[in-house]
Amino acid sequence: AIEGLKALYGLTPSLAAIDACYQRITRDIYLRQQAEDYLSGMGTTLTMLWEAPGSVLLGHVGDSRAYLLREGQLTQVSNDHSLVGEMVRSGALARDAARSSPYRNVITRAVGTEDRVVCDTAVVDRVPGDRWLLCSDGLSEHQDARSILECRMMNDRETSADRMVVGALEAGGRDNITLILLEVPR
């Protein structure tokens, strides 16, 4: 997977390059699990941001998330590739019910489970003061948007990150709780 990301070094940021990166990583993981029985069924989520002049490019597969805090408004920029995420988007399940659904961890799209993957991409204007959060479902499953917003409004990123992780653990988090905080300089 690291080799796939290294392939981006020196390239001009583009959605095509992100897609090519995801395809390479997917193929590498898929071939490895095909070659080694103990890795059978292995896959992962992958959400990335790539800074371009005047914009930020997003690549996303799985149920990890990308959030953008802009001018006090928190927006989930990525869509969960999960059974529950699809049910919420179609209106078959209320957003409030999604948090306790027994199917919330059923992923419908992952990197490496097949030899190709459909990667969601987006271009977002880069605005000074924007704050980004990339996180695994171990955080987003146990922290609601209000809690995330309160933490991301803090000026100290380290304190913000610590509060989110502690909040997820105190809410019963047992899955991997991973996050990256980014900020566009003013």
Average pLDDT, the chain: 89
Q: CA 104 to CA 183: how far, in whole Å?
A: 29
Summarize the confidence of residues 160-173 as an average pLDDT. 88
Summarize the confidence of residues 101-125 as an average pLDDT. 91
pLDDT digits (tens, 9 = 90+) for 89-100: 888 888 777 777
Q: Report phi then psi at 105, rounded to 5.
A: -100, 10
Q: What share of the chain is helix, strand, coil (3-state, %, to 5)?
A: 35, 25, 40
pLDDT at residue 1 is higher than 70: no
Number of neighbours of residue 36 by Cβ within 10 angstroms: 10
Q: Which H or E element spans position 68?
A: strand 65-70
Q: Looking at the DSSP assignment, which residues form a beta bridge with residue 52?
A: 55
Q: CA 29 to CA 109: how far, in whole Å?
A: 14
Rounded to two decimals, the pTM is 0.89
pLDDT at residue 117 is higher than 90: yes
Summarize the confidence of residues 38-52 as an average pLDDT. 92
pLDDT band (50, 70, 90) for residue 86: confident
Q: Name the least confident of 33-42, 88-97, 107-116.
A: 88-97
Q: CA 183 to CA 128: how far, in whole Å?
A: 8
Concatenate the DSSP letters of all residues of 129-154 into one string.
T-EEEEE-HHHHTTS-HHHHHHHHTS
Q: CA 82 to CA 80: how far, in whole Å?
A: 5
pLDDT at residue 35 is higher than 70: yes
Summarize the confidence of residues 48-56 as an average pLDDT. 94
Q: CA 59 to CA 82: how far, in whole Å?
A: 16
Q: Name the least confident of 15-24, 44-53, 140-149.
A: 140-149
Q: CA 83 to CA 64: how far, in whole Å?
A: 14
Summarize the confidence of residues 42-52 as an average pLDDT. 93
